[in-house]
Structure 1
Amino acid sequence: MEIFFTILILILLVSISGLLSRIFSFQIPLPLVQILLGALLAWPQFGLHVDFNPELFLVLFIPPLLFSDGWKTPIREFLRHGSEIVILALVLVIITVVGIGYLIYWMIPGMPLVAALALAAVLSPTDAVALSGIVGDGRIPKKLMDILQGEALMNDASGLVSLKFSIAVAMGTMVFTIGAASLDFLKVAAGGLLAGIIVTWIYSKSLRFIFQLSHGDFATQTILLLLLPFAAYLIAEHINVSGILAAVTSGMTIGQSSIIRHAPLSMRLRGNSVWAMLEFVFNGMVFILLGLQLPDILLSSILQAEFDPNINIWMLVTYVILIYSALIILRFCWLIFMKRITLQFMSKCPMVFSEYSIREILIVSFAGVRGAITLAGVLSIPLFLSDGSVFPARYQLVFIATGVILLSLLCGVVILPILLEGIVVSDKSLQLKEERMARTIAAEVAIESLHKMEERLINSHEENIDIQIFNEVSARIIGNLRRRINNTDNIEHIMLIEDLERRMRLNALHAERGEYYHLRAQQKISNETLTKLLRDLDFLEALLVGDE
């Protein structure tokens, strides 16, 4: 019963956090509000305590969130920026683990090198969810945000794999060598990617068969689709490859699969609503759980520091500031270095980094906020080693990682709005022009499909269609309500006209939807434009289909 009430309280906090973030005269980012709410309830006066199980946290929250992000990420744009994403999500992570790890080892007395590398590993992943909560959607220029989102999707895996290597070395279960670590990393990463693709392919084939068996049972179909990220993650982890990469790849694969495009309308509408709700609730619970851990982390670190003659709480706070500053400086210098490398040696095929100004590099640097993966990673560090001794400096690792998360969020709240001031994110007129162009082309295709439908109906011997009625319907799609009022004496005639009009509208909508996907494949419209146009078509189709 206590667990049930705790879940209800967490969901209630998530639901009211959005309101609280807007009632103040100055807007507070939603993640910070949720962290503060969690910390407030965890304080001794309120006494809400939730045991944080890192493995359960990773399985419950991370797969659906990464799956959703992967679903919304167009593969073409992701692959277009593939080199930039690899440089940030893999190369920069390795540099961060080694460089920041040795800095921590040198800076903190008594800190073993393996523990320092483990801390650097959990600090390397960035969090796109926290970033969106800080700056909001559509505030960061697209050429920056595409790479930041791709980096956040991929560096979770590289950071956690590096953490596993560090823990394995500390536990004595493996001896670290560069060759073995590189080979193991490639196996884990490639295996995770393949696992996500294969599981999703099998799943989509099964769903297509299930759709045929359970026609009209859209609730079952939606639930089965919701299980996909967990299936991909758990199967990948079971075969000792990256479950995180499997969840991301699964989302990308299902987004390109025809199973969703050709799914029944009710399933698409319900599925979108369910995913939007789950994404909001899961994102909120991640940050509330982070807040719930803060008092315990702070109190335990203070108590541990009292028994450690080499460390006090103010030294730990200083280490948090210095380590976060080192992360920002390293990220900034790496981007500057990549910009110069691109300009000097890649003039024929330059990367996007060559277009970045100093201001944009600063934005990308401070946009690398830390979040849920960092917390889950540091809390997954075991309490004891294989010989039964305490894991070295674990309380310092937890305190510093938590402090860096909070400091990165606070710096993002203060600095990013200043850096983004006056930046034109997107040209609205260009987007409107693109949308009008897409609608015009799709309308032409729809008209052509109606002509084909006309020929098919005229030549059909099974359907008795009056040519005059058909011409009337095709010339005047709108006006059925007025005809119903003016021709109440001939109900059957009106029903025939309305049924034919509905079928023609549905035919046109299906043709438009297909053309929108075609335009997106030709990169004539963006993914955002495609999403908006498809949503409009779904609503129109829902009105036409009704309860059918």
Structure 2
Amino acid sequence: MESVEVVLAMLLAVIASGYLGRMLPFAVPLPLIQIALGAVISGVFKHGIALEPDIFFLLFLPPLLFLDGWRIPKVGLFRDKGTIIELALGLVLFTVLGAGFLMHWLIPAMPLPVAFALAAIVAPTDPVAVSAITSRIPVPPRLMHIIEGESLLNDASGLVCFRFAVAAAMTGQFSLAKASATFLWVALGGIAAGVLVTLAISRIHTFVLRRFGEDQGVPILVNLLMPFGAYLVAERLEASGILAAVAAGVTMSYVELSGIATPATRIRRNMIWDTLQFALNGVMFVLLGEQLPDVLRGALHPPGGLPFHPWWLAGMALALSLGLVALRFVWVWVSLSLTLLNQRRLGQQVYQPRLRLVLATSFAGVRGALTLAGVLTLPLVLPDGSPFPARHLAILLAAAVIVVSLVLASVALPRLLRGLEVPHEATSEQDEDEARNIAIAAAVTAIEKAGRARADAGDRELHAQVSGRVANLYRQRLRAIRGAEGDPHPEVARDAERDYRLTGLNAERDTILRMGRRGEISDETARKLLHEIDLVEARYG
């Protein structure tokens, strides 16, 4: 019963964080508010919950990574795949070496393998933390796609480096060949597991649906369980369950184009996923905050060792955090310079990015609860029975890096990105309008064809009038889109049309609600009409 109460308290903290974020007179990132509330729950009320890494990885990561992989724009992901792989693989290895030697130099008492393990677990950026910070900051779309793609793919390389650093600390041995082979299996096996599980479940579900039919809630439940299936299969194969969940989401975005899901299923499923994403994101940061008091006590008073001074700990945490930003800046700057040099050599058009863009990319490397869950898996003792060296210190530094990276990103990114000019690229709105034009033209053709067929069957005049009226509605939409394209300020015209349509819909809704309150229509009729208005309003965001 106590565990249920803790879960309810965490969900209430997530709800409270949303209100607090709007009530505060200054802007504070939502993750920081949720971390603070988690610390209050654990430190003040003495009512927290211990973070179990295995349970955490299983319950939280698969659905969130699946959804991120599903919804990330695939055009941007595959267009910048070279840059994303450089960050997800090359930057992680560079960070492990650089930050590992930095920690060993600053803290000689921390063995080099332990320093490498700490660097490996703080090297990957956290997709949940990245999304939480950038959701309220106007990030250029292309930069956002690169940062999201990096955060989805770099966990496998970081966790493999972490695993072998821990093994080196336990046994004193390290094999580069074995580490490379393990990384290939972990990455490729995880991706393959995610793709195959998603395709298999989708094919079986489609077959059963067409053969026997199903209840309305079944496809939504199948979709919710899919990332867990991909994760568990990959883990059983000793591959990356994280990459399996991401690959399952990417695969699902293509499976979705088969059109097997009904419109009602898509609407309900999106609502459920949005709610689940909000709840799990918030609970992750609240859970992170609940760990901080115990982590701080364990580092200040390590068992069997001398206590550390708080200011010394703060200095080490800040040095590691700034070192990670500096390493990220060096890697981005050097890799970008080499890319531009290669483009000039090939005679391609070159865009020289401003320094602010490179700095923004450096500060966007946000860490999250994934880092803390990973570092908590450090062994308690060595094979000879002695305590694992600097375990509590490594956990504290990892937790501090999470908080500092969130603070740095929330402070630096809005200032670096304000007024930043980036090269123009084809916008999604242009693609959207072109797709609408083609779809509307196809709809008019289909309506006219159906009208002629039904007119031949009888009641020619009725079908001609009705089909013509419906076709004219589509033609009006087409003229409105083309009129906006010809307008010297198409975005202003589009925004104005959206505002007028929303004004009309709000008037409709107010009227229905007033009639329902007065008893002029039944509550059932009111709900039905309000649902129709809400669906139309959803088109305008």
Give me the TM-score of the superposition, normalised by structure 1: 0.82
Q: Does the CA contact (< 8 Å) of 2:380 and 2:388 recur in 1?
A: yes
CA spacing shift, 1:135–1:74, aligned 2, 3 Å: closer
Q: Does the CA contact (< 8 Å) of 2:448 and 2:467 recur in 1?
A: no
Matched, 1:109 2:108: yes
CA spacing shift, 1:207–1:349, aligned 2, 3 Å: farther
1:374 is matched with 371
1:193 is matched with 191
CA spacing shift, 1:341–1:49, aligned 2, 3 Å: same
What pairs with 1:220-259 in structure 2 (closer than 5 Å)?
A: 220-258=218-256
What pairs with 1:81-230 in structure 2 (closer than 5 Å)?
A: 81-137=80-136, 139-172=138-171, 175-212=173-210, 215=213, 217-230=215-228
Give per-residue Cα distances to partners, 1:94-114, cap 9 Å, x unaligned.
111112112211221211111
1:470 is matched with 463
What pairs with 1:36-75 in structure 2 (closer than 5 Å)?
A: 36-43=36-43, 45-75=44-74
CA distance in structure 2 between the partners assigned to 1:440 and 1:145 by the alignment: 28
The letter of the residue matching 2:52 is N
The letter of the residue matching 2:90 is V
Q: Which blocks of at least 5 consecutive residues in structure 2 are unaligned?
A: 479-497, 499-530, 537-541
Give per-residue Cα distances to partners, 1:11-60, cap 9 Å, x unaligned.
111122111111111121110110010011111x3111201101110111
CA spacing shift, 1:336–1:425, aligned 2, 3 Å: closer
1:364 is matched with 361
Residue aligned with 1:307, SS: coil
CA spacing shift, 1:48–1:30, aligned 2, 3 Å: same
2:343 is matched with 346
The letter of the residue matching 2:438 is I
Q: Which moved more, 1:438-447 or 1:291-300?
A: 438-447
Q: Does the CA contact (< 8 Å) of 1:138 and 1:425 recur in 2?
A: no
Residue aligned with 1:248, SS: helix
Give per-residue Cα distances to partners, 1:278-324, cap 9 Å, x unaligned.
00000000000000001111111111299327x53322211111111
CA spacing shift, 1:175–1:429, aligned 2, 3 Å: closer
Q: Which moved more, 1:111-120 or 1:430-439?
A: 430-439
The letter of the residue matching 1:454 is G
CA spacing shift, 1:425–1:276, aligned 2, 3 Å: farther
CA spacing shift, 1:337–1:299, aligned 2, 3 Å: same
C-alpha deviation, 1:65, in angstroms: 0.6
CA spacing shift, 1:130–1:353, aligned 2, 3 Å: farther
1:422 is matched with 419
The letter of the residue matching 2:465 is E
The letter of the residue matching 1:12 is L
CA distance in structure 1 between the partners assigned to 2:471 and 2:435 by the alignment: 22
2:405 is matched with 408
CA spacing shift, 1:176–1:247, aligned 2, 3 Å: same
Q: Does the CA contact (< 8 Å) of 1:199 and 1:232 recur in 2?
A: yes
CA distance in structure 2 between the partners assigned to 1:192 and 1:165 by the alignment: 18
2:437 is matched with 440
CA distance in structure 2 between the partners assigned to 1:237 and 1:432 by the alignment: 40
Q: Which moved more, 1:341-350 or 1:65-74?
A: 341-350
Q: Does the CA contact (< 8 Å) of 2:190 and 2:240 recur in 1?
A: yes
2:519 is matched with none
CA spacing shift, 1:339–1:194, aligned 2, 3 Å: same
CA distance in structure 1 between the partners assigned to 2:454 and 2:168 by the alignment: 73
C-alpha deviation, 1:432, in angstroms: 5.3
C-alpha deviation, 1:363, in angstroms: 0.4
Residue aligned with 1:304, SS: coil
CA spacing shift, 1:349–1:427, aligned 2, 3 Å: closer
C-alpha deviation, 1:216, in angstroms: 5.2
CA spacing shift, 1:203–1:115, aligned 2, 3 Å: same
1:26 is matched with 26
CA distance in structure 1 between the partners assigned to 2:273 and 2:416 by the alignment: 32
1:527 is matched with none
Give per-residue Cα distances to partners, 1:469-525, cap 9 Å, x unaligned.
11110122399xxxxxxxxxxxxxxxxxxxxx9xxx9xx9xxx9xxxxxxxxxxxxx
Q: Does the CA contact (< 8 Å) of 2:96 and 2:116 recur in 1?
A: yes
What pairs with 1:221-300 in structure 2 (closer than 5 Å)?
A: 221-258=219-256, 261-300=259-298
2:448 is matched with 451
CA distance in structure 2 between the partners assigned to 1:12 and 1:352 by the alignment: 53
C-alpha deviation, 1:437, in angstroms: 3.7
The letter of the residue matching 2:377 is S
The letter of the residue matching 2:437 is T
C-alpha deviation, 1:215, in angstroms: 3.2
Give per-residue Cα distances to partners, 1:172-197, cap 9 Å, x unaligned.
3x942222211111111111111111
CA distance in structure 2 between the partners assigned to 1:97 and 1:272 by the alignment: 38
Q: Does the CA contact (< 8 Å) of 2:63 and 2:228 recur in 1?
A: yes
Q: Does the CA contact (< 8 Å) of 2:454 and 2:463 recur in 1?
A: no
Q: Which blocks of at least 5 consecutive residues in structure 1 are unaligned?
A: 480-500, 513-531, 533-537, 544-548
CA distance in structure 2 between the partners assigned to 1:351 and 1:330 by the alignment: 29
C-alpha deviation, 1:348, in angstroms: 6.3
CA spacing shift, 1:421–1:542, aligned 2, 3 Å: closer
CA spacing shift, 1:214–1:28, aligned 2, 3 Å: farther
CA spacing shift, 1:66–1:258, aligned 2, 3 Å: closer
1:489 is matched with none
Q: Does the CA contact (< 8 Å) of 2:197 and 2:230 recur in 1?
A: yes
Aligned residues: 483
The letter of the residue matching 1:448 is T
CA distance in structure 1 between the partners assigned to 2:348 and 2:426 by the alignment: 27
CA spacing shift, 1:21–1:465, aligned 2, 3 Å: farther
C-alpha deviation, 1:352, in angstroms: 11
Q: Does the CA contact (< 8 Å) of 2:186 and 2:238 recur in 1?
A: yes
Q: Does the CA contact (< 8 Å) of 1:142 and 1:425 recur in 2?
A: no
C-alpha deviation, 1:146, in angstroms: 0.6
CA spacing shift, 1:433–1:159, aligned 2, 3 Å: closer
CA distance in structure 2 between the partners assigned to 1:419 and 1:80 by the alignment: 25
CA distance in structure 2 between the partners assigned to 1:269 and 1:289 by the alignment: 30
Residue aligned with 2:90, SS: helix
CA distance in structure 2 between the partners assigned to 1:22 and 1:167 by the alignment: 43
